[in-house]
Structure 1
Amino acid sequence: MCKLSTFDKFSAIVVLLGSLTWGIIGIFNINILSVLCGGSPTILRMIYILILICAIDLISLIFRCNIITFNTDK
């Protein structure tokens, strides 16, 4: 069992919310983040960069916790 840091837990929540946002964009063609930010492209870009950093952290978590193992026995 791998111990999750506070940032790992935060990353999971942010990536989950980011994926829900993209799902809403795909289904309803409404960007909720743009509405919440008042249409500010700078703030919107910073939020998307935060989601990217959190996604990279979750990808690294897969390797840090050995979630994916490669069977080399043949």
Structure 2
Amino acid sequence: METARKIALAIAIIGALNWGLEALLGFDIVADLAGGRDGGIARFLYGLIALAGIVSLGYLFPGERSRVRAEDRDELAWQYRPPAGVPEDKNRTAPD
């Protein structure tokens, strides 16, 4: 999954560079390569770039996955940890 996110980020960066060229020089690489902005291929590529941008939003919130996992843990798990400075017994289990 991480590879797919990196590919999406690369596509989003390429799209951002394309829009930068459009703003600075009036040149749209995607439209030029696809035969115009209204062509089906160009519309597909613009949609792909938009989807890549949405997927890349996950890089803005890197801690969200770990936070969700922490919320899914047992609320009372902290009660079964040994006090600070006491080695943890690997054979000890939580009471039922």
Say whether 1:10 aligns with 2:7. Answer: yes
Alpha-carbon distance, 1:60 to partner: 2.8
Match of 1:38 among 35, 39, 50: 35
Task: Tell me the distance in 1 between the aligned counterparts of 2:13 and 2:63.
Answer: 21
Task: Tell me the distance in 2 between the aligned counterparts of 1:60 and 1:9.
Answer: 11
* Larger Rg belongs to: 2
Task: Tell me the distance in 2 between the aligned counterparts of 1:61 and 1:27.
Answer: 27
- Residue segments in structure 1 that go unaligned for 5+ positions in a row: 68-74
Alpha-carbon distance, 1:61 to partner: 3.6
Report the identity percentage. 27
Paired residue for 1:59?
A: 57
TM norm structure 2: 0.58
Greater relative CO, 1 or 2 (CA 8 Å, sep 6+)? 1
Alpha-carbon distance, 1:28 to partner: 0.6
Q: Tell me whether 19-28 or 52-61 shows the greater mean CA deviation.
A: 52-61
Query: Structure 1 stretches (4+) deviating beyond 2 angstroms?
Result: 60-63
Alpha-carbon distance, 1:62 to partner: 2.7
Paired residue for 1:22?
A: 19
Tell me how large the CA RMSD over aligned residues is: 1.8
TM norm structure 1: 0.73
